[in-house]
Amino acid sequence: MLFHVRMNVDLPATMPPAEAAALKQTEKDLAQRLQREGKWRHLWRIAGQYANVSIFDVDSVDELHTLLTSLPLFPYMHIDVMPLCRHPSSVRDGDI
Amino acid sequence: MLFHVRMNVDLPATMPPAEAAALKQTEKDLAQRLQREGKWRHLWRIAGQYANVSIFDVDSVDELHTLLTSLPLFPYMHIDVMPLCRHPSSVRDGDI
Amino acid sequence: MLFHVRMNVDLPATMPPAEAAALKQTEKDLAQRLQREGKWRHLWRIAGQYANVSIFDVDSVDELHTLLTSLPLFPYMHIDVMPLCRHPSSVRDGDI
Amino acid sequence: MLFHVRMNVDLPATMPPAEAAALKQTEKDLAQRLQREGKWRHLWRIAGQYANVSIFDVDSVDELHTLLTSLPLFPYMHIDVMPLCRHPSSVRDGDI
Amino acid sequence: MLFHVRMNVDLPATMPPAEAAALKQTEKDLAQRLQREGKWRHLWRIAGQYANVSIFDVDSVDELHTLLTSLPLFPYMHIDVMPLCRHPSSVRDGDI
Amino acid sequence: MLFHVRMNVDLPATMPPAEAAALKQTEKDLAQRLQREGKWRHLWRIAGQYANVSIFDVDSVDELHTLLTSLPLFPYMHIDVMPLCRHPSSVRDGDI
Amino acid sequence: MLFHVRMNVDLPATMPPAEAAALKQTEKDLAQRLQREGKWRHLWRIAGQYANVSIFDVDSVDELHTLLTSLPLFPYMHIDVMPLCRHPSSVRDGDI
Amino acid sequence: MLFHVRMNVDLPATMPPAEAAALKQTEKDLAQRLQREGKWRHLWRIAGQYANVSIFDVDSVDELHTLLTSLPLFPYMHIDVMPLCRHPSSVRDGDI
Amino acid sequence: MLFHVRMNVDLPATMPPAEAAALKQTEKDLAQRLQREGKWRHLWRIAGQYANVSIFDVDSVDELHTLLTSLPLFPYMHIDVMPLCRHPSSVRDGDI
Amino acid sequence: MLFHVRMNVDLPATMPPAEAAALKQTEKDLAQRLQREGKWRHLWRIAGQYANVSIFDVDSVDELHTLLTSLPLFPYMHIDVMPLCRHPSSVRDGDI
């Protein structure tokens, strides 16, 4: 099942640069592992913003929530989730 | 170049059913042709709405605008475009 | 899987009363069948509005979309869907 | 009487983790007691957010307000209340 | 129990003046009866708008919804309901 | 003249509890005096929020502004003012 | 007493031009009379819109509402009213 | 040329009272000088808010921006500017 | 003086195609004349919308309003105007 | 390819003036270099705000994002990007 997820990141200005860098690296490692596992299907940067649009492919809403809240940057993000389904005009079978 | 496009369709209640059906069929044919040509990369229905989220892959903003305004349902849609770029944590080379 | 669905109904003032009454009766019959089947778990009226808050229990987003678009009033509704998951403080096992 | 309550939690980043953990545990204990007493009928997490949708069953608006303001996380929440009533198409007698 | 109700009226421009006048007179008669019965405690016009702010005193949300939907202008109004409760600084006992 | 006033209070988390308590007590004393003088006609709590809806009865806008800015919590409130006038369907003479 | 009034006009496209012209002329005559009487202190067009910002000087909210609803274009306007009072830094005595 | 300017002031709670008082005095002095010079035509307080509505009369947008950014409270204000022009129904020649 | 103007066009679905085509042609002729005269400095289409972003260079707000309301599509447009001024970091002298 | 970019700057009140001045100077130097290189085509101040409207001319969305995130003030800005394309009524060939 696919979900459209928009994440806006807002790190506090008072966070020490080293702490921010460590957080971002852990986030990147996890994001890449989840992409390789097929859970995080797409990940795009929104131009001009510290924000992304992502497509997640999960077995349940609970799995989606568990994945999102496991992200190191979760406490610093505003997240909006929109459930997607197959479009009758889509030609790509695997694209739900 | 990738663009995130959201289309909300609002057909007037007074449109004759046959005219609406013809419009939708022409729209579907064009949407499928553009998907096969690789211009319209993804097309998902938003659950519960007569709306979709799409990813277009075009060479320029002008090409994007030409494609969108050529859609038969264009006069009945509200469209929002958001430019996307490669995310530093993405693992998929072709996914921009 | 549970989804929180809000439906706002807006029937055109020009619809003949008999047509509106027939639509509402068909809607009611289907809503009651879906409730008995366990797909439409809860259905509440929002005070002062021609609108409801509902909880759907479905196997997939596609099933949810199919149910919602099969409602006779669908063309006259604005629908917002919000995916829900089990809350760690919930004491009700069957309440996801 | 049923009320639809949405709670969005926003703990200050400067709160010591031990204090936050203690607050959340007290909140959980109270939430579970209120659920067992039947006052807090449903409690669902909104996917991807530190927020919940709840259904309260109380005898008066004053009782609702007293319950909500007694929550340990109340000072850190934005709360929206929407009064619900029985839907004419509902098949569940106890569901108001 | 008190509820704060805001009603914005929007009569279609195509409604014949006689029909509009009849609707308004029936609305007025009912509004005055409900005020005399104590259900509709306050009724104020918002300056410059075809809208009012009202305070209803009812025994339940269902009673409130029944009253509001019985108003002849209900199909032409947008209504927002906000539950009120006694303020700890209020000096008026009967003012909830 | 009547004015509809909505006040949302937002005390900074860093304010010492004793200072907050003192502020609230002074606010309450003044609010009760103004109610007894007839200037602050109604004062209701909005369920689930640190906010109130009030009706002020003053001789001029200047008097209203002077009263509101004299409230000890004024620096911590967002206030919206809406001028009210007599509704043609009102049956209460003294209710403007 | 001064009130800041913003009026946005939206004439239906189906109104016959002669009817629109007559409405506007009557509106203009009344607006000019009210200005000469000192009730309508200022009247400015908002650049690029069929809208104005006005300052009314009236003895009460009821008088303001009576003036606004007497305007021939009232049924076609959205009006927002904001009460003004003397600013402590103002140097103009008559400007409230 | 006239411009409608709305200024909302938000002084940080941490600003020492003496610093705030000094800022406000300088602001007042400048505001009064600009009013006497005819640049700042009108200045009204919005009831219940630390905000004002002003009318500026300047020779160019650059002059307006220079005046606004020279205000001592500028760093603590949110400002919205709306260009005004003569209204065809205005009877006051000097009121643009 | 430069003004940033956004125009969103919304032609009624009931307008006969020939009338729409004639309106658009007259609009285009006037737009091109104003561009050649230097009044309408820039004109860009917003991708995916029947809308444009324009920069006007006029001597006064009145001239701007006169130009905008003379556009044949004016009755079918929503227009927002934002005054611009020279940016201290701009390197282009003629770009205000 | 042209992109319409709006930047709103919000420097924290706690930033030392020397640090703010240095940031702004570096920003200015880079902005001027990018203008001279033709990447940053236009740069205008929005009257009354610490904000600008800019037009960027880049070869790709990735280039735009790289430019914007390289700005020293980027961490303190909210940025909105809107893709532009040639307007059919434009008379300026180089203006896309």
Per residue of chain G (96 residues), what is the pLDDT tens digit? 999 999 999 998 889 999 999 999 999 999 999 999 999 999 999 999 999 999 999 999 999 999 999 999 999 999 999 999 999 999 987 776
pTM of the entire structure?
Answer: 0.95
Amino acid at I57: D
Given the structure tokens 């105007």, which residue do they identify? I81
D94 in a domain, yes or no?
A: no
Q: Does J42 touch chain I (CB under 8 A)?
A: yes
- Measure the CA–CA gap between J96 and J90, rounded to whole angstroms: 9
pLDDT digits (tens, 9 = 90+) for J1-60: 999 999 999 998 889 999 999 999 999 999 999 999 999 999 999 999 999 999 999 999
Torsion of Cα atoms, H25 then H31 then H36 then H40, to 10°: -170
For residues C23 and C17, give the distance between their C-alpha atoms in angstroms, rounded to a whole number: 10
Q: Is the alpha carbon torsion for J60, J61, J64, J69 positive or negative?
A: negative
Find chain J residues with C-beta within 8 A of H80's C-beta. 48
Residues of G whose CB is below 8 A from I12: 13
For H53-78, what is each residue's pLDDT tens digit?
A: 999 999 999 999 999 999 999 999 99
CB of A17 within 8 Å of any CB in chain J? no
DSSP chain B: -EEEEEEEE---TTS-HHHHHHHHHHHHHHHHHHHHTTSEEEEEEETTSSEEEEEEE-SSHHHHHHHHHTSTTGGGEEEEEEEEEE-TT---GGG-
pLDDT of C83 over the 80 cut: yes
* Per-residue confidence (pLDDT) for residue C94, from 0 to 100: 75
Say yes or no for a CB contact (<8 Å) between E79 and C49. Answer: yes
Distance (Å, whole) CA C21 – CA C29: 12
Query: Does the CB of G5 have a partner CB in chain E at under 8 Å?
Result: yes
| Cβ of residue E11 closer than 8 Å to a chain C Cβ | no
Confidence of residue I14 (pLDDT cuts 50, 70, 90): confident
> pLDDT band at H22, cuts 50/70/90?
very high
CA distance C66 to A91: 19
**Phi-psi group of J38: left, alpha or beta (phi > 0 → left; psi -120 to 50 → alpha; rest → beta):** left
CA-CA distance, J52 to J24, in Å (whole number)? 14
Residue D65, domain member (yes or no): yes
Q: Which H helix or E strand runs over G27? A: helix G17-36
CA gap D50, G32 in Å, rounded: 56
Q: Is A33 on the interface with B (CB under 8 A)?
A: no
Q: Are E2 and E59 in contact (CB under 8 A)?
A: no
Q: Are H45 and F64 a contacting pair at CB < 8 A?
A: no
Q: Does B68 touch chain I (CB under 8 A)?
A: yes
F26 has a pLDDT exceeding 90: yes
Contacts of F29 (CB under 8 A, 6+ apart): none
**Residue C83: which of A83, A86, A96 has the nearest Cβ?**
A83
Tell me how many residue pairs between chain E and chain G have CB atoms under 8 A apart.
19
E84 touches chain D (CB under 8 A): yes
Instruction: List the chains bordering chain H where 3 or more Cβ pairs fall under 8 Å.
Output: F, G, I, J
Listed in sequence order, the residues at least 6 apart from E72 whose beta carbon sits closer than 8 Å to its beta carbon are E23, E26, E27, E30
Of J12, J65, J75, the CB nearest to A47: J65
CB contact under 8 A, G48 and I81: yes
Give the closest residue to D58 by CA, choosing from B33, F48, G42.
F48
Cα A32 vs. chain centroid, distance in angstroms? 11
Joined together, the tokens standing for residue E20 give: 């509009």
**Domain membership flag for residue G53:** yes
Q: What pLDDT score was predicted for residue A35?
A: 97
Within 8 A by CB and 6+ apart from I46, the residues are I6, I52, I53, J4, J82, J83, J84
Would the pLDDT of D96 be above 70? no
Interchain pair B65, J81: CB under 8 A: no
Chains in contact with I, where contact requires at least 3 CB pairs less than 8 Å apart: B, G, H, J
Domain count, chain H: 1
Band of residue B96 on the pLDDT scale cut at 50, 70, 90: low
Instruction: Report pLDDT for C92.
Output: 87
Contacts of C55 in chain B (CB under 8 A): none
- Is E39's Cβ below 8 Å from some Cβ in F? no
In this prediction, residues C35-54 reach a mean pLDDT of: 97
Quick check: B91 and A36 in contact, CB under 8 A? yes
Q: How far apart are CA B54 and CA B31, in angstroms?
A: 11
Q: Which residue of I has its CA nearest to G44?
A: I62
Range of the domain at A26: 2-84
Q: Look-up: residue for tokens 């209070």?
A: F9
Checking if the pLDDT of I16 tops 70, the result is yes
**J8 to chain H, closest Cα gap in Å:** 12
Backbone angles phi, psi at F3, to 5 degrees: -130, 135
> A39 pLDDT exceeds 80?
yes
Is residue J95's pLDDT more than 80?
no
Chain C contacts of A83, Cβ < 8 Å?
3, 61, 64, 81, 83
CATH number at B62 reads: 3.30.70.1060
Q: Nearest Cα to B75, choosing from C77, I74, I52, I11?
A: I11
CB contact under 8 A, E3 and D64: no
Cβ neighbours of F91 (radius 10 Å): 14
H16 touches chain J (CB under 8 A): no
- Residue A84: CB atoms within 10 Å: 24
What tokens appear for I21 in the block? 């085509």
pLDDT, average across residues A25-49: 97
Nearest CA in chain H to F7: H48
Which H helix or E strand runs over J8? strand J2-9
Q: Any CB–CB contact under 8 A between J81 and chain B?
A: yes
B85/J61 Cα distance (integer angstroms): 6
Looking at residue D14, what DSSP letter applies? T
* CA of J8 vs chain I CAs: smallest distance (Å): 13
pLDDT at F96: 64
Chain I residues close to B9, C-beta within 8 Å: none
- Which residues of chain B neighbour A28 with C-beta distances below 8 Å? 88-89
CA angle at J86 for the pair J80 and J91, rounded to the nearest 5°: 125
B–C: how many Cβ contacts below 8 A? 19
Is the predicted pLDDT of residue E41 greater than 90, yes or no?
Answer: yes
Instruction: Please state, in angstroms and as integers, the Cα–Cα distance from residue G5 to each residue in E31, F6, I57, following that order.
Output: 29, 20, 30
Distance CA B44, CA B82 (A): 16
Is the residue at F94 inside a domain? no
Residue D24 has pLDDT above 70, yes or no: yes
Query: Cβ–Cβ of G90/H44 closer than 8 Å?
Result: yes
B64 touches chain J (CB under 8 A): yes
Chain F CB contacts of D80 under 8 Å are 48
Strands (E), E1-96: 2-9, 40-46, 51-57, 77-86
Alpha-carbon distances of I22 from E81, F77, G68, I26, rounded to whole Å: 48, 54, 38, 6
F55 and H CB contact within 8 Å: no
In this prediction, residue D71 carries a pLDDT of 97
Beta strand residue intervals within F1-94, DSSP E:
2-9, 40-46, 51-57, 77-86
Whether residue H49 lies within 8 A of chain F, CB to CB, comes out as: yes
| H or E stretch covering C19 | helix C17-36
| Element (DSSP H or E) covering residue F31 | helix F17-36
Q: What sign does the CA torsion over C92, C96, D3, D8 have?
A: positive
In a domain, C94, yes or no: no
Confidence of residue J96 (pLDDT cuts 50, 70, 90): low
Collect all residues with Cβ–Cβ distance below 8 Å to C59 and sequence separation of at least 6.
Answer: C1
> Using one digit for the tens of pLDDT, what is the confidence trace for B22-72?
999 999 999 999 999 999 999 999 999 999 999 999 999 999 999 999 999
